[in-house]
Every structure is written in C-alpha cells, then in structure tokens.
Structure 1
C-alpha cells in the first residue's frame, strides 16, 4: 500500500538530470543485460569521462594556467578509463605496482604516470624509475631509497615531487614536516644527476577550496626557494578533492534539515557530518576555476596569477571529478518483505558494491526503479534495500526511499553516478557471489546503445 507524501520515508534526493544515463534507462537494454549476466552489474559511460577531462582543461586554459591532469586510478578499476586517459593525453595516478602495470598495459606512457601513496615498496619505486614516472616522495627514507635505485639501476634519473605535510592537518599520515622538507631539499641537491626534483605536492583531506588554495600558494613559495638552490622545482601537485554534485541544492538542504532516524530501517542513525557533500555550490571544472580564482592566505593575487608569475605547472589528480556521471550500478530485486509502513527489498548483490556503506555512511542519491509494470498505480512506496547476505548490517540503502511505484520481485534498481569510488573500492566475492561485471556503453552514432564487457579482469 502506498503512503501519503511526507510520511514514512526520507526527503527525496533525486540525481541531477543526465541525458546519457536517461537514454540507457529508456533503451530497454538494462533488463536484457540483467538477464544475460545473471546478477548485478555496473555500466560505464566513457564519453562522460572525456567530457569531464575537456572541462578541466578548459578551466586551466581560461585561467591561463599551464597544467596536467592525472586520473586517480583508485577511484575505479575499469580498463576503459585508463584507456580514455591515454587516448586523451592525460596521465594516471597510481599507488601500487599492479596499478602501474595496468596503466602501462592500457596505453598510458610511463612519463604520464604519477606514483603516490605512503611508504612505497622497492619494487614499485624501481618500476617507477625505469618507466620515467613522477614519484611523490612521502618520507626521507623513501628519498634515500630512490637515490640508491637511481645510482645502481636505470640510466635515467628518478623524477620526484616532495610531499608536504599540510600545516592545517598536522596529524595526517601523509607528507613531510618543514624540517624534513628542508633536509629532503638538501639531499636532492647532493644527489646531483641521480634525482630530478620537479617540485612539491600535498595530500589534503576534505573538499573545501580555500585551504587547498592556501597550501598551493605555499608550495609555489617552496618551488622558488628550491630553484634558488639549483633545483628544477617547476611543478606542484594539489591531488584531487574537487567536489562533485549528485543532487540539487534544495533537495540536499531539505534532507540535511529533515532527515531523522525514523526515516531509516531499524531506526539507524547517521551523523550528518559523515555524509559526503552530495551537493556543492561549485563542482568539477567549476570548482577548479574557483580554486584558481581564490586568493591564498596573505596574497594579493589569485592562485592562477601566482602560478603564471612563477612559471609553475599545476598538476591535478582527480578521481571522482573525472568520473562524474560516468556510470551506474544495477541490481535485480529478488525479494520483498512488508514491514509497518514500508518494505524491505532484497537485491541480488551486496553493499560491498556501494562502497560508501562501509564508511559509517550511506550512499544517498535515490536509486531509480525500473519496473516490469510501469503502468502500475503511482504513489509513494517507501522501501529500504538489503543485500543477499546473512548480515543484518549489509544494507545497500538504510534510508526508506519513496519510490513512485510499488517495487516488485524482478524489478531493477539503478543506483546513479556510482563510477567514482562506489563500484569497486570494497567489492568482494562474499558468499562466493561473483563480482559484478562492468559493461561499457558506447552510444556514438547508434540509434540504440551498444555494449561490451570492460577488459579489466577483477
């Protein structure tokens, strides 16, 4: 039975309109794929990746800033995104030997790789030097290891950025203190031709733009000081952290002010501060433009002007911002239970395929119900979504979502915009369930979407 709007379910969080996703939903392809694949799956829209990359480059060009974009591979394991980065002349950010090999295998040039992550092992460092990758050095010990590798191995120098510990986040496990950076700079000078010190980087948690601008301004100063000592120091990396909007401002603010434990299965509670900011006033390329227009603390000029004046190249390592609207996740409902005022839907997969659920949080954009009977009575049908496992906590959606039609066994649930971090950060073949495959959707010049399986082997 339907309930009246405003009762029994949480405020709606509709995804932002996206013509490509809506075309796939309307095409009739998803029920066919669900039948053919026999379980949950992800579909990928690589044209969105291409568009996001162009938009970031346009923002750099509009600000007159020389920059280079690396795709943060940890955000999605699919081969197609590394392939699109390679085809578009972008780089890839990797943090393991496996990721480095995957990127090379899908066409990314060695000099277009940046190697991040803390305490990198010797195998990874040696591969990075051999391939001419840029390496974000996180500790003095790591810098010493690179000097040894460069002196005893390849004829090419080790290309390095020195990673700065953010003063505003002194408890971060990433980066070096001011004293350690001074020591690292001394060692780079002494290393001579074994090292090519190209600049500085940082790893900053959160999505606020002003702290990122402030720290970027500081890194520009560090570059100028390093140059005075004869080092190249012509690049800074600000990592990722460009916010993405999943829903509109009114829906997000309404949700934040009205959501309550009664809107969740079993009275589950979440701290508002633990949710990803599913709406941002500026996002993606617009956030980059705003960052370049921001004035770092104590400066009279915007960050873009500081970079131009110093001749410093800005390196970016976005994941989510490149994957915005680049894919979705599909589950089949395999059971429906009635509860007081709402339903519990059980789907043919697990919340391991929606990684946000495993960070004491919830993936909040409303899933789309693809009903077998779209002519059924309209209304508001609250339902939470559970997984096909034996764990009480394995819920894809604790929230009681108000679906516009009654969900039934056999219907599909499509979770929107999951390509950025949701699809495969935590996937596991729990209960011997197969990992959901990734389906690449190619719509170019076709009256109906074409598809193929992604070439990455899980």
Structure 2
C-alpha cells in the first residue's frame, strides 16, 4: 500500500560507518539469515577497537593518566571482552559470572572493576582473590570486604568508595557524606589489609558539566583522604558518554514533526523518554570535551586538576565503546494491510531490541533488505513492525517506517547500531523461541568479510 508523499512520515536515518558497508555489499546478511533460519545479531569488533583507541588517545592528548574499563553489561558477547583485553583495557563487572567470563577471555584480575549494589559474597570473595578493584557501595559491604581480606591474608583488598551525588540525592547507589566519613575511618583502622585507592561515582543522564563538577569533588576527597594517610590516587567517573546514532538535522526535525498519528494505534511517547539519538559531541570527542571542561568554582580544566593532584582517571563506558559495533536482523514472516499503512510481523521479539521495554522506542530506521533481486516499485510504503508473540504490546517499531519498497514476507529488516544495550539486556526465550545467535564479522585482507559464532561461555 503506497502513500505518495514522503514528507508526512518522519524518518531517522542512522549514521553508517566504513565497518558496516562491506557487510551490506557482500550479501553476507542474507546468507546468515538463511543459515540460522531466524533472527540474529552480528558484531563488528573492529569498531569496538577503534572506539577504544580513540578514547585512549583522548586521555593521552589531554596528558591525563587514565584507564578504561569496558562496562560488560552493555553487551554479553565475549569478543568485546577479548578486544578489551588485547587493547589494554579492563572490564567493569557486577556478577560472579561476568567476572569469570572476563578472566576466561584474558582479562587480568587487577584490570577488573567490580560495581553494583549489595554485591554477592561469592563475587566479593573472587574480587579480593583476584585483586580486582571493588567500588564499595555501602558500609556493610566495606565490612564484608575487610573481613574477606583479613581471612584470606593473601593480598590487600583494593577499594574505591562510591559517592552519592548531591545532584541525585535519591539514587539508591553510593554513600552519603557521613557514611563516607565512617568508611574512611574503617579503612584506616583496617590497616594494610585494605588499599583505599580513591572514590567513584556514576551519574544518570549524559550531560558533561555535572560529571566534571563531581569529578572535581572526588579529587578534593582524595586530597583529604591522603592527609589521613590513605592512598587515594584514583577516581572513577563511571560511564554515560553519549553517542550519536544520527545527524543533528535529522534528529531535531524528527522531534519537531513526529506525533501519535505516525505510530501504530496512535501510540504516544514522551519525547523526553527517548534516548538522545544525536549529541553535539559524542564518544571520544565527549571525553575530550569533559577533560577540557572547567568545574564549578575553578579556573582550571578538569584535566589540569587531575594532573596537578596526581590522580589516575578511570572510566567505565559501555554504549560509547560499542558505537557502530553491531546490528540486529529479523525476517518478515507476515504482512497485514491497515488504513494507510502495513503491519509487519517478524520472526523474533522486542526482547532483542530492548528500548521498547523502557516505555520508549528504538528510533533509527531499520533497513529493508528485499530478497527479490528485482524488488517491486519504489515509493513510500509505511509500515510498523510487530513481534512473533501473542502480546499486543510486543512491537519492535510502533512508528510507521517509510520504506522505499513494499515489505514482503521473506524480506529482512536490519536494525543498525544495536550492540549497545539493545541486543541482549532484556533477551528471553519467551514462547520457547531461541535466543538470536551472535555472529562475529571480521574484516581481513580478503575481498569478503569472514564470520564465526561468538565464544560467550554462559
């Protein structure tokens, strides 16, 4: 069903990088869809490595001593852990399974950062045994770490004290000022069984100035702790570096024009709940801008403050390292006509495109890959995309996408740039449907990319 005018359908074209173009040109996506007979994710680890190198360069260019921990929760795939290990980075983990996975794929114990609230005792024991850094979230957790270190007596437990941000006082993470005072006292009393290496925080949202302001506060906390006799030489500012899925004009035009009529069943979203799919500075550029920012009540840049205090800056990016590092492919298995648009059903669920489960929408346009070598007439063919489940709300894309060809059964839909949080944070074998496999695609000197299955253990 064609609608002649494209102007009435908001679009949001995704940025494409050189790592994606050979995959699309090779026909590999169609072959993999045939081989697996269902939805799949493909991973582009070269993009991960490029993002990591760019962030490391941003630290070097600012003359800042820093270390990057890949936030493993953003994607379960083993290949990204392997690339982090070979690229001189660590891993941020929050479970015993994640810690074991990281060790099994070549990450040294001292290059692990253990985060999360109310950590399992087994996780804490492994962290102390392997000399991982533990971001301590509460006083009782600190007591557990001290007890484990006293019992083991192999090496001192390495800890950062997680700070409750003043700007987010209702966060369930971190310690208040009074709790931090008590924690410092307990670290001193513990003596050489504890290495209190500094402080950490994580802020919700993607604004850079609040991160710079809080980082400066952590530097001051380190200087105070040193006066008490503690090491206090590192600060972790967590993740939250923004990335751009699309260009500025496309993003602002989309926000200005989209309305409920553009969505199946007149679905209404609050635009403030959308991820900011464009950022003026993103990835390594955002890190550079953060280091160049001037925290409140100072004339110095954050980089200057870090250098002057002899601090090592730690970061735990997830999405920013995974930018352009993968995509998700579904096959269309049903097409229904509706009033002025079509309703597609694909062979998977929105559990593999996780944004929908946060009362939001994954907005970058999916790419239609027709299986007919000579697809039907071109034009504007709006369609929404539903899942192969019995749930009315299980929609991959509520928005009516303006496809250039009429979607047909057997055609493929490629959702771009899904490696960061979209692929597997909410996956479930609902209806006993198998989880989509992860395919690692690597570019070599050959004319065609090579592929293999990911080596994730669990």
Task: Tell me whether the two structures share a fold, i.e. TM-score over 0.5.
Answer: yes
**1:193 Cα offset (Å):** 0.5
- Equivalent residue, structure 1, for 2:354: 355
Match of 1:20, SS state, is coil
- Equivalent residue, structure 1, for 2:416: 416
Separation of aligned partners in 2, 1:199 and 1:220: 9
- Equivalent residue, structure 1, for 2:309: 310
**1:253 Cα offset (Å):** 0.2
1:386 and 2:386 aligned: yes
Structure 2, unpaired ranges of 5+: none
**1:8 Cα offset (Å):** 5.5
Summarize the alignment of residues 39-188 of structure 1 with structure 2, pairs less than 5 Å apart. 39-188=38-187
1:257-304 deviation digits (Å, cap 9, x = unpaired): 111000000000000000000000000000000000001111110100
- Equivalent residue, structure 2, for 1:36: 35
8 Å CA contact 2:113–2:132 kept in 1: the answer is yes
8 Å CA contact 1:328–1:414 kept in 2: the answer is yes
**1:374 Cα offset (Å):** 5.2
1:316-342 deviation digits (Å, cap 9, x = unpaired): 000000000000000000111111111
**1:22 Cα offset (Å):** 2.0
> Post-superposition, which runs of at least 4 consecutive aligned residues in structure 1 deviate over 6 A?
none
Separation of aligned partners in 2, 1:299 and 1:6: 51
Report the RMSD for the aligned CA atoms in angstroms.
Answer: 0.9
- Equivalent residue, structure 1, for 2:204: 205
8 Å CA contact 1:8–1:342 kept in 2: the answer is no
- Equivalent residue, structure 1, for 2:402: 402
Separation of aligned partners in 1, 2:18 and 2:203: 33
- Equivalent residue, structure 2, for 1:254: 253
- Equivalent residue, structure 2, for 1:437: 437
- Equivalent residue, structure 2, for 1:452: 452
**1:33 Cα offset (Å):** 0.7
1:84-115 deviation digits (Å, cap 9, x = unpaired): 11111110000000100000011100000000
Shift in alpha-carbon separation, 1:40–1:381, aligned structure 2, 3 A: same
**1:2 Cα offset (Å):** 1.7
**1:23 Cα offset (Å):** 1.5
8 Å CA contact 1:354–1:363 kept in 2: the answer is yes
8 Å CA contact 2:6–2:380 kept in 1: the answer is no
8 Å CA contact 1:93–1:116 kept in 2: the answer is yes
Separation of aligned partners in 2, 1:436 and 1:425: 13
1:148-177 deviation digits (Å, cap 9, x = unpaired): 100011410110000000000000001000
**1:373 Cα offset (Å):** 2.9
1:13 and 2:12 aligned: yes
**1:26 Cα offset (Å):** 1.4
1:344 and 2:343 aligned: yes
Match of 2:19, SS state, is helix
- Equivalent residue, structure 2, for 1:277: 276
Separation of aligned partners in 1, 2:315 and 2:325: 19
**1:457 Cα offset (Å):** 4.3
Normalising by structure 2, what TM-score?
0.99
1:399-455 deviation digits (Å, cap 9, x = unpaired): 001011111110100000000000000000000000000000011212011100001
**1:6 Cα offset (Å):** 3.9
Match of 1:70, SS state, is strand
Shift in alpha-carbon separation, 1:457–1:336, aligned structure 2, 3 A: farther
- Equivalent residue, structure 2, for 1:190: 189
Separation of aligned partners in 2, 1:7 and 1:314: 47
- Equivalent residue, structure 1, for 2:324: 325
**Count of aligned residue pairs for this structure pair:** 457
1:292 and 2:291 aligned: yes
8 Å CA contact 1:220–1:236 kept in 2: the answer is yes
Separation of aligned partners in 2, 1:402 and 1:56: 36
8 Å CA contact 1:8–1:262 kept in 2: the answer is no
1:127-167 deviation digits (Å, cap 9, x = unpaired): 00000000000001000111110001141011000000000
- Equivalent residue, structure 2, for 1:425: 425
Separation of aligned partners in 2, 1:182 and 1:433: 51
Normalising by structure 1, what TM-score?
0.99
8 Å CA contact 2:6–2:402 kept in 1: the answer is no
Match of 1:176, SS state, is coil
Separation of aligned partners in 2, 1:431 and 1:54: 41
Match of 2:215, SS state, is helix
1:23 and 2:22 aligned: yes
8 Å CA contact 1:4–1:380 kept in 2: the answer is yes
**1:245 Cα offset (Å):** 0.2
**1:347 Cα offset (Å):** 0.4
